């Protein structure tokens, strides 16, 4: 899409979507509706902003462009949490027939920032990237930049990371007001954060330099600014710290779309994962493979990640898949389907000449050097062990990450095997 300069495809239909067994799907819905668990009430009431407070205190939320820690550098995270967002919300909304209903629309912005009534509620990632990441405790300014990004089709993770990097470069003297159209880009300065986000969206003045994301910003500014560009292979990392959850260290580098947080590393319904020590880097390869394979099935099916973490058991998901498709798939069969998705994606990257082991993960993300204080103090992610275990579990080469011919054939990917091994 990028090479064709295609921004989006909008599709609208008016036909009914048939279910293989509508009666069964209805029966399952009735059965599981009252068994939803985990964060269901949190998501129903607050949506994803409800996770910001606990995520900030645990260290999961990157702070000050990944250089700080919320409990020490940004106690204002309290001003951005679920309760504060709820005060600004005029109503809720849900995707069609979703029993969780995590969406929200905001009241009209009539104060220092103007936005229409019904502007979308900022999600966790947006609050974290423009809030904690920029040391900005002004909620209205984040609703405003969220609205700007939505109107221009900008990703708030990438845009927030780019603004945070710009602030750090300014604070460190790599750029000055002479570069930034006279705008003082300092930590927590919400007015300039909003102004610069607007300029970035319109590619106006210094905003044009920022508009292609942190990798390009580093190339354009130079002066060692790549140290503050928090991306992997050009994709800005989301607001989940691998020092807090080591699974993210694996998928940020080794998933075929790097810096991805929805491909393993998230919560799963009971019945999927065996017991494990979430803090240990050892023997994580096989576990991450299960999570990643399952995520591939879930993401491909269109299941919502926020809804599936509320399912009472993985059998609920399988039951719905079978009722909708008419299959009689087991968990093992679905995991093989996910594995096939993982391998065809990886084969594509390998064919195009990419080796993810060469992708650089910024040191700050993995504790190199380790943080000196806060909840993640002293933690260094053992990337080598994590990468090796996952590659071994996937049957991908330890030097090139190339799927083995045996694995591709076992999964029925003859064409991929032929292209990689001819
Ligand atoms: S489908 Fe997902 S995003 Fe949509 S309302 Fe339900 S939980 Fe929220």
Render pLDDT for 362-396 as a digit per residue (tens, 0 to 9): 999 999 999 999 999 999 999 999 999 999 999 99
> How many angstroms does the Cα of residue 95 sit away from the middle of ligand 1?
5
What would the mean pLDDT of 186-201 be, rounded to a whole number? 98
274-280: long-range contacts, CB 8 A cutoff, minimum separation 24: 278/245, 278/246, 279/246
Nearest-atom index, ligand 1, CA of 43 = 7
- For residue 266, the model assigns a pLDDT of 62
Neighbours of 67 (CB within 10 A): 15
**CB contact at 8 A, 100 and 93:** no
Radius of gyration of the chain (CA): 22
User: What pLDDT is attached to residue 265?
Assistant: 63
Task: Please tell me the distance from the alpha carbon of residue 340 to that of residue 346, in angstroms, as a whole number.
Answer: 10
Q: Which atom of ligand 1 is nearest to the CA of 102?
A: 8
Query: How much is the pLDDT for 214?
Result: 98
Q: Are 226 and 218 contacting, i.e. CB atoms less than 8 angstroms apart?
A: yes
For the stretch 1-36, pLDDT in tens is 888 989 889 999 999 889 999 999 999 999 999 999
**Closest residue by CA, ligand 1 atom 4:** 95
63-114: per-residue pLDDT in tens?
999 999 999 999 999 999 999 999 999 999 999 889 999 999 999 999 999 9
Q: What is the pLDDT of residue 34?
A: 92
- Nearest 5°: phi and psi at 105? -120, 145
User: How many Å lie between the centroid of ligand 1 and the Cα of residue 232?
Assistant: 28
How wide is the angle at C-alpha 260 spanned by C-alphas 218 and 222, nearest 5°? 5
Q: How far is the CA of 30 from the centre of ligand 1 (A)?
A: 18
**Rounded-to-integer distance, Cα 213 and Cα 161, Å:** 8
Atom of ligand 1 nearest to the CA of 304: 2
Of the candidates 394, 136, 421, the one whose C-alpha atom is nearest the C-alpha of residue 264 is 394
The ligand 1 atom nearest the CA atom of 306: 7
- Which conformational region is residue 123 in: left (phi greater than 0), alpha (psi within -120 to 50 degrees), or beta? beta
- How far is 380 from 107, CA to CA, in rounded Å? 43
Q: Which of 37, 38, 41, 103 is the best mutation target for the ligand 1 pocket, counting ligand atoms within 8 Å of the beta carbon and taking the most?
A: 103
Which pLDDT value is given to residue 2? 80
What is the number of the ligand 1 atom nearest to the C-alpha of 47? 8
Domain annotation for the chain: domains and CATH numbers: 40-236 (1.10.569.10), 246-421 (1.10.599.10)
Return the ligand 1 atom nearest residue 93 CA: 5
CA 310 to ligand 1: nearest atom: 7
As beta bridge partners, residue 109 has: 115
Q: How far is the CA of 290 from the centre of ligand 1 (A)?
A: 24
pLDDT one-digit tens code per residue, 146-164? 999 999 999 999 999 999 9
E strand or H helix at 251 = helix 246-254
The C-alpha atoms of residue 189 and residue 130 are separated, in whole angstroms, by 11
Q: What is the Å distance from ligand 1's center to 101 Cα?
A: 5
Q: How many residues does the chain have?
A: 422
User: How many Å lie between the centroid of ligand 1 and the Cα of residue 390?
Assistant: 31
d(CA 199, CA 162): 12
CB 309: neighbour CB atoms within 10 A?
Answer: 18
Classify the C-alpha dihedral 399-401-407-408 as positive or negative.
negative
User: What residue owns the CA closest to ligand 1's atom 8?
Assistant: 102
Pocket test for ligand 1, best of 102, 262, 267 (most atoms within 8 A of CB): 102
Which residues lie with the beta carbon below 6 Å from any ligand 1 atom? 43, 94-95, 98, 100-103, 304, 306-307
Average pLDDT, the chain: 95
Ligand 1 centroid–CA 103 distance in Å is 7
Nearest-CA neighbor of 122 among 197, 15, 226, 172? 197
Ligand 1 centre and the CA of 97: distance in Å? 9
pLDDT in tens, 249-304: 999 999 999 999 888 766 777 888 888 777 777 778 999 999 999 999 999 999 99
d(CA 378, CA 70): 16
pLDDT at 372: 96
Does the structure show a pLDDT above 70 at 237?
yes
Distance from Cα 133 to the centre of ligand 1, integer Å: 25
Within 13 A of 136's CA, how many CA atoms are on the CB side? 30
- Report the 10 Å Cβ neighbour count for 91: 12
| Residue 229 CB partners (closer than 8 Å, separation 6+) | 165, 214, 215, 217, 218, 362
């Amino acid at each position: 899409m990028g090479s064709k300069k295609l921004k989006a495809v909008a599709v609208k239909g008016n036909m009914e979507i048939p279910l293989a067994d509508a009666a069964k799907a209805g029966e399952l819905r009735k059965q599981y509706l009252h068994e939803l668990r985990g964060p269901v009430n949190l998501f129903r009431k607050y949506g994803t902003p409800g996770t910001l407070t606990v995520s900030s205190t645990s260290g999961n939320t990157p702070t000050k462009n990944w250089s700080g820690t919320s409990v020490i550098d940004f106690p204002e995270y309290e001003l951005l949490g679920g309760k504060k967002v709820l005060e600004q919300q005029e109503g809720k909304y849900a995707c069609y027939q979703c029993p969780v209903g995590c969406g929200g629309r905001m009241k009209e912005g009539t104060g220092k920032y103007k936005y229409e009534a019904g502007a979308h509620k900022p999600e966790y990632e947006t609050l974290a990237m423009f809030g904690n990441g920029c040391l900005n405790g002004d909620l209205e300014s984040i609703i405003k930049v969220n609205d700007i990004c939505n109107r221009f089709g900008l990703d708030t993770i990438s845009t927030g990371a780019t603004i945070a990097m710009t602030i750090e470069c300014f604070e460190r003297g790599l750029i000055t007001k002479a570069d930034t159209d006279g705008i003082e880009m300092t930590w927590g300065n919400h007015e300039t954060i909003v102004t610069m986000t607007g300029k970035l969206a319109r590619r106006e003045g210094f905003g044009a330099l920022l508009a292609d994301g942190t990798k390009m910003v580093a190339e354009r500014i130079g002066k060692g600014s790549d140290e503050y560009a928090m991306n992997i292979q050009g994709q800005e990392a989301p607001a989940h710290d691998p020092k807090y959850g080591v699974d993210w260290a694996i998928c940020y580098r080794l998933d075929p779309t790097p810096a991805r947080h929805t491909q393993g590393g998230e919560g799963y319904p009971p019945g999927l994962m065996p017991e494990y020590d979430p803090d240990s880097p050892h023997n994580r390869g096989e576990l991450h493979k299960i999570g990643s394979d399952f995520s591939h099935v879930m993401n491909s099916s269109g299941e919502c990640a926020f809804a599936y973490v509320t399912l009472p058991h993985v059998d609920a998901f399988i039951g719905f898949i079978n009722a909708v498709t008419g299959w009689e798939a087991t968990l093992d069969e679905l995991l093989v389907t996910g594995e096939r998705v993982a391998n065809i994606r990886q084969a594509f990257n390998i064919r195009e000449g990419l080796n993810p082991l060469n992708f650089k993960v910024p040191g700050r993300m993995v504790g190199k050097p380790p943080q000196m204080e806060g909840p993640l103090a002293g933690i260094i992610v053992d990337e080598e062990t994590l990468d090796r275990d996952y590659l071994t579990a996937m049957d991908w080469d330890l030097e090139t990450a190339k799927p083995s011919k045996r694995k591709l054939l076992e999964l029925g990917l003859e064409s991929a095997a032929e292209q990689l091994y001819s």
